[in-house]
Amino acid sequence: MAELYHECGVAAIYHLLQDGISPLAPQNDPNCVAGLIPRLLLDIQNRGQLAAGMTSFNPKRKQLIKTYKDVGSVNEVFRLGRREKAERIIKRYNGQAAIGHVRYATCGTDDRSYAQPFERSHVQKSKWFSFGFNGQLANYQKLREQIETQDDFHLARETDTEIIMHLLSQDFSIHGRGDLVGTMSRLARQLDGAYNIVFLNARGDMFIARDPLGIRPLCYAVEGPLFAAASESVALWNLGFDVENIKTLQPGEMILIQHGRLEKHRFAESPHKAHCFFEWIYFANVASTLDDRSVYLSRTNLGVHLANQEELTIDEDTIVVPVPDTAKPAASAMAYELNIPCLEGLMRNRYVGRTFIESKNRADKVRTKFTPLPEVFEGRKVILVEDSIVRSTTMRGLIDQIRTRGKAKEVHVRVACPPIIAPCFYGIDMSKISELFAPKFMEGHNLTPEVERKMAQTLGADSLRYLQIETLAKSIGIEKSQLCRACVNSEYPTEAGKELYQLALEYNKNPEATQNERTYDISAVMSTRS
């Protein structure tokens, strides 16, 4: 789904004070491991292409921690296409430890000041720190109001990352240095939502932490003296860690590195889990394993369930075609179960990226990103498999292109996800009901064959079938009680999420009045009126 974006991804690396040098450390130098951060970020680039950055720690450097970041992809920011420039950047910012970040914004603007990590300078080393944040705070506006009502406090950016920076700074001022587990425990009592944090200070202290619900994934590995962490396991695997050493950080847990020693701590109780199911069906790299569940196998299971519910008459002209790229495993599995060909009829232009010349016309956008092959489509009955339909703009354009340019005889859309009926307040860029496709048809959230027929007609398809919600937990292999499925069943796992959804429902009755505002923005307006 070219219409759907994640907020960000995080990474961390540390050469611990032990005998021996890790074979993964460049030049066998413990002060060169920070230069591995761009490699880690490349493998989680799928989680954010707006900006990238890193902060490194080097005790031999006058600038003990140093941050480098900018707007652009990892390749662009770190100049990876220009060897001499890339080497100069790495040499200048190398060190014994580092944290990294890739960003897509669900809040804030498209400029360098919003790129992460966020660094806060201070003459006291324990209060001079940098951190990166993956997720979104559902109680962002309430926290912002609490801070700004305090005399002499001001927030310069519209982002929850600055909220966390302020709360960390305030805790360090009140409780002193060194008690980072206590800091996270106190922070957890104030934060509602999804938050994975990677932290590094000028004393060389590092921690990674995962919120008590485990909404977003976080993995780590230790081999010899080298520790690394990333939002997805594939980044650690490709860096060279053995697969058996790659572990999942559990919800409410943190790994703390102080004085060169690593310890795991529980900073908050985890009464229940709420892993975002979208990680497995769309966001994560297909080669990743999240919370001990393979992304690839989860997506192939979705395809099996699609095949099991298929009622279309299959003939010799029937083919399955995936929408690149995340729908490929589901499409292949569906075709295998139905014993029909799975062909790549849509060629995706991987070099389009973000561009100022992008047209506002839907058909032009689709032509820029996808090329249908008449050799595949012409005269065929096409089962077009997509991972999800959110706003429907891309899908409508694709179907039109498959008919007009591809010359397909029939187009039948199959979606490896239930209908998206509610916004996400935990880090996915869909915060209003009015921008979603399915709620316009599903009164009372009931999905019936008649509703699917009306949806298909609107999209320009011959038929449309969604995956049943019951199959999500079965496909992923995690109990439904441990998954956040709020966007498909409107059952939010946190109190602030429930409050925002009620506000979204209220304002959906008059969507024109809030056409250009997110639910968070509406919440801010309401609070100023009260």
Query: Are 6 and 427 spatial neighbours (Cβ–Cβ below 8 Å)?
Result: yes
Taking the CA atoms of residue 310, residue 312, residue 316 and residue 317 in that order, the dihedral angle to the nearest 10 degrees is: -110
Which stretches of 183-308 are assigned E, i.e. beta strand?
A: 193-201, 206-210, 219-223, 226-230, 246-248, 253-258, 261-266, 275-276, 289-290, 293-294
Query: Are 80 and 38 spatial neighbours (Cβ–Cβ below 8 Å)?
Result: yes
Q: 3-class SS at 163?
A: helix
Query: Token pair of 452, please?
Result: 């699917």
For the beta carbon of residue 83, count every other beta carbon within 10 angstroms: 9
Query: Are 179 and 130 spatial neighbours (Cβ–Cβ below 8 Å)?
Result: no
Kindly give, in sequence order, each residue whose CB lies less than 8 Å from that of residue 216, ignoring residues fewer than 6 positions away. 134, 135, 194, 195, 196, 210, 231, 276, 279, 426, 427
Sign of CA dihedral 465, 456, 347, 48: negative
Strand 246-248 and strand 226-230: pairing? unpaired
Query: Are 382 and 344 spatial neighbours (Cβ–Cβ below 8 Å)?
Result: no
Query: Token pair of 468, please?
Result: 């049943």
Q: 66 phi and psi, to 5 degrees?
A: -140, 135
Among the listed residues 494, 519, 486, 518, the one whose alpha carbon sits nearest the alpha carbon of residue 276: 486
* DSSP-derived secondary structure letter, 314: P
Q: Indicate if 8 belongs to the active site.
A: yes
Query: Are 282 and 1 spatial neighbours (Cβ–Cβ below 8 Å)?
Result: yes
Sign of CA dihedral 38, 42, 44, 49: positive
Find the distance separating the first CA and the last CA of the chain, reported in whole Å: 38
Q: 219 phi and psi, to 5 degrees?
A: -120, 160
Among the listed residues 500, 487, 432, 431, the one whose alpha carbon sits nearest the alpha carbon of residue 139: 500
Q: Which of 8, 107, 342, 417 is catalytic?
A: 8
Positions annotated as catalytic residues are 8
